[in-house]
Amino acid sequence: MGDLVMFLQGRVAASDGTALPSNVIVERVCNARVRQQVYASPNGTFSMELGSRIGAVLDASADGTAQQGRSGRAVQNGIPRSELANCDLRASASGFHSDVLALVARDSFSGRIDVGDIVVQRLAKVDGMTVSATPYKAPKDARKAYENGIDAEKAGKLAGARQYFEKAVHIYPKYANAWFQLGKVLQQQNEKPAAHAAYTHAANIDTKFLPPYLSLSYLAYEAQDWPELLNLSGHILALDPLNYARVKGYILDLDSFDYAEAYFYNAIANFQLNKLDAAEKSGLKAAYLDVRPRFPQLHLLLADIFTRKHDDARAATEIQTFLDLVPHAINADELRERLTKLRKPNAEPVNEKN
C-alpha cells in the first residue's frame, strides 16, 4: 500500500448535541476546490473512499460507507498522502456553520485516517440580505396581491403573475420584494429593459436586499458592461456576507441566493478590466462555494487568469477540472490541445488574447 491513503472517516456532530438534518454532506476541499463529497449517515458518521471522480457526490449507505459515485463509475484505489497536504474537510448542512479540519499531518493506520468530529454550529437567520423587510410594512391588499403573484408564477402563469405584482407595487411602491419578483417575470418574458427597471426599483428601496443586485449583475454580464458588473457584484461582496454571517452567528439562505454566482461575476469583471489579482481572489472564492457545481466555466476563467499570470501548471489544472465536469463540451478538443501545450516541457508560454 505504501504511502497511499485509502479512506477518511469521522463523524459530524452539532455543537449543542441536537440531531442533524438528513442531508449533511462532508466535503474534501483542496486548494479552494471541492474535490470529493459524501453524505453522512443519519447518526453523523461518514467514510470517504479517496480517489473518486472529481466532483462526484457519493451516495451514503446506512452506516455512511458509500463506495461508488452516482455515475456508477468505480472509485480509484487511494491517493498519496502528499496530495492531502493542502486539503481540508468540512460539513455542509442547511442551518449550520461547519468547523474546517486540516488533513495535513493526520495520523493514519492501514491507509485509513480518522479525523474525529467535524463540529457544526446551529445558526440564527440573517435579516436584510436575502429577504427584504418591506413585506411587513406593506398593506394587507398589497401582500395579498404579492402572494397571488407568487402562486401564479409557480403555476407558470406569467401574465397573471405580472398583473398581481404590478398591483402590489401600485398599492405599495416601496414593496422591494414585489418589484424584484416583477423583474423576474419581466425577464422571463424577455422584456429586459423593464426587468432592469424593476430590479433597480427593488435595489434602491432596500440596498441590503441582495437578490436584485444579483439579477442586475446577470443583465450587466449579458451586456458585457464590465464596469457596471464590477460595481453591482462589488456591492454584494462589500457587505462581506459570508464573513458577516459567520462572525455574527447568522445563516445565509443559500437556497434563494447564490454567493458563488456573485463571486463569479466579480471575477469576470475584474478579469475583463485586467485586475488579475482581484479576479483570482474572487474566482477561487467562487470555486470554493460552487459545490454543486453550477458554473463549470468558472474553471476556464481561472485558467485564463493563471495563463495571463504565467502559471501554466495551475492553468492546466483548471482546464482539466473543466473537462472532468464537462467532458463533451463543444470546445473540448480545442481545450485538450491547449492542455497538451501547457503540459509540454519547455513549451513556449501560452499567450491568451483579451
Sign of CA dihedral 71, 30, 217, 175: positive
CB-CB contact of 90 with 100 (8 Å): yes
Q: How many CB atoms lie within 10 A of CB 153?
A: 19
Angle between the 192-205 and 176-188 helix axes, to the nearest 10 degrees? 160
Q: In this structure, how many other beta carbons lie within 10 angstroms of the beta carbon of residue 327? A: 9
- Which residue pairs from 338-344 have beta carbons closer than 8 angstroms and sit at least 24 positions apart in sequence? 342/307, 342/312, 342/313, 342/315, 342/316, 343/312, 343/316
Q: Which residues have a Cβ under 8 Å from the Cβ of 288 and sit 6 or more positions away? A: 29, 32, 33, 34
> Which domains does the chain show, CATH number per domain?
4-122 (2.60.40.1120)
Look at the alpha carbons of 302, 305, 307, 309 in this order and tell me if their dihedral is positive or negative: negative
CA distance 102 to 90: 9
Q: From CA 260, how far away is CA 298, in angstroms rounded?
A: 10
pLDDT digits (tens, 9 = 90+) for 200-249: 999 999 888 888 999 999 999 999 999 999 999 999 888 755 544 443 33
Whether pLDDT at 354 is above 50: no
Query: What is the per-residue pLDDT across 68-122, written as a single tens digit (0 to 9) for each?
Result: 333 334 345 667 777 777 788 888 876 677 888 888 766 665 678 888 899 887 7
Output 110 or 254, whichever has higher pLDDT: 110
Please list the residues that pair with 96 across neighbouring strands. Answer: 122
Cis peptide, bond prior to residue 293, ω within 30 of zero: yes
Contact 51, 78 (CB under 8 A): yes
* Rounded CA separation 134/128 (Å): 10
On the CB side of 330, CA atoms within 13 Å amount to 1
User: What is the CB neighbour count within 10 angstroms for residue 288?
Assistant: 18
- Segment 154-173 shows an average pLDDT of 95
Contacts of 11 (CB under 8 A, 6+ apart): 40, 43, 44, 45, 46, 116, 117, 118
0.75 exceeded by the pTM? Answer: no
pLDDT greater than 70 at residue 54 = no
**How far apart are the C-alpha atoms of 21 and 226, rounded to whole Å?**
40
Could you tell me what percent of the chain has a pLDDT over 90? 42
